Structure 1
Amino acid sequence: MAKTSVYKFGGASVKDGSAVRNLAEILRNRLRKNMVIVVSAMGKTTNALESILAKKLSGEDFSLNCTILKEFHQDICQELFPAGHPVFAHLDNLFLQLNNDLEKKLSRDNYDEFYDRIVSYGEVISSRIVAEYLCYQELIILWQDAREVIHTDSDFRFAKIDWEKTRKSCQSSWKPLLANFPILTQGFIGSDPKGRTTTLGREGSDFTAAILATSLDAASVTIWKDVPGVLNADPKLFPNTRKFDELGYREAAEMTYFGASVIHPKTIKPLANAGIPLFVKSFLDPEAPGTKIHEHASVHHVPTIVLKKDQILVSFKVTDFTFIEEKHIHSVYEKLQSLKLRVNMLQLSAISISIVIDTQLFKLDQLISKLRDEFEIRYNEGLELLTILHQQEEEIPSLLEGYEVLLEQASRNTFQVVRRKN
């Protein structure tokens, strides 16, 4: 039996009617048995659902937001399907379920669980529309719910995979189906032991593709993006970018660790462990070669720039005139772990610990309240973290022009700076 291949299409590749048509054209000559298609929410749907949650949490009326979101999806369907097509009834039903879920009680205490239940609708709605359209185009495909095979713990918003259980489910439930049909499913979502919806972290659909690929012993994963492959910088932010024809797993993992947005950070490890190659290709130019990430890629030293926005610099200063010791670092990291906060940069001085973290709702307040008895705490919000891998000294000043530097550190292969606009 031929090995499975996994395709993943992100939000930009299903953002409107013409994008969905383009996806169908990409699949027209490629779709076959033993293929899994993973799709993200359409366009900026996840952001829209987060805005609805924010309004609900603050007690504001969010009904207009829900109406706008439903109309966005209805407009796409009207562009793709004839009047009276069953997809419109599916859509009405899913938005009815969403509105029922939004009527339930939300507080800071159950926010993460509530978030997962609500935000998952983006992927479910998107996958249903895409599957219906492919079938309407006579491309036969099975729609399957990813939550039935991707099993996680109950760590809502950052769920950890139960790899053994997930593999068993994929092999017993999906493998027999794939012998006869391709499967279309959702990225980003799973379910906990009680059957509650969980999510794998923002932009986690790439990770879904890697989970399914390793659990199904796939031959390859292809991520379809709006860029020609993996570039050495974001072309929207930096001029004269260069595409990598190939990358080793280690180099790709390093780039994603520092925040390169082209691939989700958790994607590389399971693929590397299983020796499954990852292709990053452009849905705007599907015949172009893109980038291949695999074990035997040649090493390069092209400077690579990664920019993370919405960063917070937090400094913890000891108050009793002692120096920073291991117990202080352990205390800070323990609280960070309990809040599921990841450190993007760390710097120690004799009397303080400085960390850079992503902006997340409530999390800074909670971190400060947990540590205010041990440290004097200061912070700056709205910052950018610039990381340059394989840096060339002469190029750094131009990247800092017009910015105030709040923190800086360098090693042989990495330069990092926390900056804000002057």
Structure 2
Amino acid sequence: MSQINQAPQLLVMKFGGTNMQDADAIRHSASLVARSLNEGVKVVVVVSAMSGVTNGLLGIAEAAEKGDIALANDQIAALRTRHFTAAQLLGAAPDAPTVRELRELLETLRQAVYGVYLLRELTPRSRDLIVAFGERLSAPLMALALTLTESGQRAHHLTGGQAGIVTDNQFGNARPLPSTAARIRDRLTGLLDAGVTPVIAGFMGETEKGAITTLGRGGTDFSATIVGAALHASEVWAWKDVDGVMSADPRSVPGAQNIAQLSYGEVMELAYFGAKVLHPLAVTPLQDAGIPLRVKSAADPEFPGTLVTTDPHTDSVHPVKAVTAIKGVSIINVSGAGILGVPDVVADLFAALARENITLLMVSQSSSMSNVSLVILSSDEERTLAALGRPMGGRQLRLDVQPEVAVLAIVGAGMRGTKGVSAKLFSALAAADINILMISQGSSELNISLAIEGQDVALATRSVHSAFGLDAPVTAN
């Protein structure tokens, strides 16, 4: 049951990398938490790594694997300076517990990286161990900042595993196990009842044997909603450096507007098709309980941002709410005499890709069943070709690659049953002289997606955004 109209009793607040990037940003984020605490609301905080740190840690791991330990150590030293400086500016003395803990964490990181260097092997498990240090280093800083606010809050920081997030063994893209919710309640309820604010390192969990796992890029959103669902939170607030979920990427579309309200399904479609505001699975833990998610701007905390609930609040004037795009994708065309009229070919293709954990963005099969087109991330191209290049059931398939493609998608629950949406989409693209390579529409009618030349994506997004009247604010009813 939705709790929108009730005064919040428990909030889960997630802070992204730009809201944790330095001492000033951390101090401001802590003040946002303290404001709710001072109003008598219990808060659980979930934090990302400082901006840029996750990519930096990946670079460190890759340098070690290649044998460049000097570069890896230099980058670890830069991380040490950045985090120690933040601790100092927040008010920690050189021998403070927070500083000692940061020192110990950085030494553990150095040892893990040195192990990769000695073996010249970076496994998914060791990569997760290394990249999770970003959040493990930022959580103590947020806990420190909370204790140093004017109201002097009590805080205790934990890793994702310590907070109760237990996952499967899919390193790099782990999923929580059913036992997670009970473990989270067991680990956090006592702290909350004692008036202590838990600060959780997002993006990470641990296996049942205690190995650190990560939830995929942007996984701190997912961490926050997992915790929110487990604790039956009033709402989950995702603090960002934008006003909320936008009708398009404002870097490509200057007229992009904040969307006041979205459904869980709409948000998942937007996230899946390239909108980087939320992790694609972030809302899934909240759906069954009907717990709202708010995407809010840390720079303008009074602005309501975007509310995500069960109700999509459709608008007959705006059946489409947003236009989004995925760049850097490729089309793999699968053909050959062995594919014609054979019903199990597509199943074999999907099974081969599933074994390699390759995500399909779009799929299309010709009516003659003589070829199948698959849209994948360009970063997965080499693995896809290797997986599909092996004979399947004695059939040798022909594989043709079309690189430098983009997927454009329009999203909105109001498209369901509304006539003329596809016509308006295609007319806008034709007027901009943009060629369509593939088309797909889900049976839910929440989105229409199509593949276009990568070089056309910015023009296509602007043209479609304007055609559907999204340059004017889209408001909730």
What TM-score do the two structures reach when normalised by structure 1? Answer: 0.91
Moved more, 328-337 or 94-103: 328-337
Aligned residue among 48, 55, 80 for 2:90? 80
Q: Give me the identity figure in percent.
A: 28
Per the alignment, in what secondary structure is the counterpart of residue 146 of structure 1?
coil
Aligned residue among 109, 126, 137 for 1:98? 109
1:275/1:294 contact within 8 Å kept = yes
Deviation at 1:274, TM superposition (A): 1.1
Corresponding residue number in structure 1 for 2:428: 395
2:11/2:41 contact within 8 Å kept = no
Deviation at 1:89, TM superposition (A): 2.1
2:257 corresponds to 1:234: no
Corresponding residue number in structure 1 for 2:53: 45
Counterparts of 1:397 and 1:30, CA distance in 2: 50
Corresponding residue number in structure 1 for 2:406: 384
Corresponding residue number in structure 2 for 1:144: 158
Q: Which amino acid aligns with 2:12?
A: V
Moved over 6 A (4+): 106-109
Number of corresponding residues: 414
> How do 1:9-88 residues align onto structure 2 when only pairs under 5 Å count?
9-31=15-37, 34-61=42-69, 62-84=72-94, 86=96, 87-88=98-99
Aligned residue among 267, 287, 290 for 1:272? 287
Corresponding residue number in structure 1 for 2:129: 117
Counterparts of 2:30 and 2:159, CA distance in 1: 20
Counterparts of 1:290 and 1:173, CA distance in 2: 31
1:6/1:222 contact within 8 Å kept = yes
Counterparts of 1:345 and 1:105, CA distance in 2: 36
Unaligned 5+ runs, structure 2: 1-7, 392-396, 416-420, 457-477
Aligned residue among 437, 455, 469 for 1:421? 455
1:388/1:416 contact within 8 Å kept = no
Aligned residue among 273, 283, 307 for 2:325? 307
Per the alignment, in what secondary structure is the counterpart of residue 311 of structure 1?
strand
Per the alignment, in what secondary structure is the counterpart of residue 104 of structure 1?
helix
Deviation at 1:344, TM superposition (A): 1.1
Corresponding residue number in structure 2 for 1:409: 439
Counterparts of 1:297 and 1:406, CA distance in 2: 29
Unaligned 5+ runs, structure 1: none
Counterparts of 1:195 and 1:369, CA distance in 2: 33
1:324/1:352 contact within 8 Å kept = no
Corresponding residue number in structure 2 for 1:327: 344
RMSD of the TM alignment (CA)? 2.4
Deviation at 1:342, TM superposition (A): 1.3
Corresponding residue number in structure 2 for 1:253: 268
Counterparts of 2:241 and 2:405, CA distance in 1: 26
Counterparts of 2:91 and 2:312, CA distance in 1: 44
Per the alignment, in what secondary structure is the counterpart of residue 151 of structure 1?
coil
1:223/1:280 contact within 8 Å kept = yes
Aligned residue among 191, 195, 202 for 1:187? 202
Deviation at 1:416, TM superposition (A): 1.5
Counterparts of 1:290 and 1:220, CA distance in 2: 13
Counterparts of 1:120 and 1:212, CA distance in 2: 18
Counterparts of 1:238 and 1:324, CA distance in 2: 44
2:13/2:237 contact within 8 Å kept = yes
Deviation at 1:406, TM superposition (A): 7.1
Counterparts of 1:3 and 1:167, CA distance in 2: 19
Q: Which amino acid aligns with 1:70?
A: R
Counterparts of 2:269 and 2:188, CA distance in 1: 32
2:388 corresponds to 1:366: no
Deviations 1:108-159 (A, max 9, x none): 9762111110000001001111111221332221212221200111111111
Corresponding residue number in structure 1 for 2:225: 210
* 1:415–1:406 distance in 2 versus 1, CA, 3 Å: closer
Deviation at 1:297, TM superposition (A): 4.1
Q: Which amino acid aligns with 2:374?
A: I
What TM-score do the two structures reach when normalised by structure 2? Answer: 0.81
Counterparts of 1:378 and 1:65, CA distance in 2: 40
Aligned residue among 155, 170, 179 for 2:184? 170
Counterparts of 1:314 and 1:322, CA distance in 2: 15
Deviation at 1:33, TM superposition (A): 5.9
Q: Which amino acid aligns with 2:209?
A: K
Q: Which amino acid aligns with 1:23?
A: S
Corresponding residue number in structure 2 for 1:357: 376
Deviation at 1:3, TM superposition (A): 4.3
Aligned residue among 345, 357, 362 for 1:340? 357
Q: Which amino acid aligns with 2:328?
A: D
Deviations 1:317-375 (A, max 9, x none): 23x35416432211121122122221111122333222222244xx5433322321332
Counterparts of 1:36 and 1:307, CA distance in 2: 33
Aligned residue among 126, 129, 138 for 2:141? 129
Per the alignment, in what secondary structure is the counterpart of residue 235 of structure 1?
coil
* 1:57–1:353 distance in 2 versus 1, CA, 3 Å: farther
Counterparts of 2:343 and 2:17, CA distance in 1: 43
Q: Which amino acid aligns with 1:16?
A: D
Q: Which amino acid aligns with 1:210?
A: T
Moved more, 207-216 or 254-263: 254-263
Corresponding residue number in structure 1 for 2:463: none
Counterparts of 2:371 and 2:82, CA distance in 1: 49
Deviation at 1:7, TM superposition (A): 0.6
Deviation at 1:418, TM superposition (A): 3.2
1:158/1:201 contact within 8 Å kept = yes
Q: Which amino acid aligns with 2:154?
A: I
* 1:64–1:383 distance in 2 versus 1, CA, 3 Å: farther
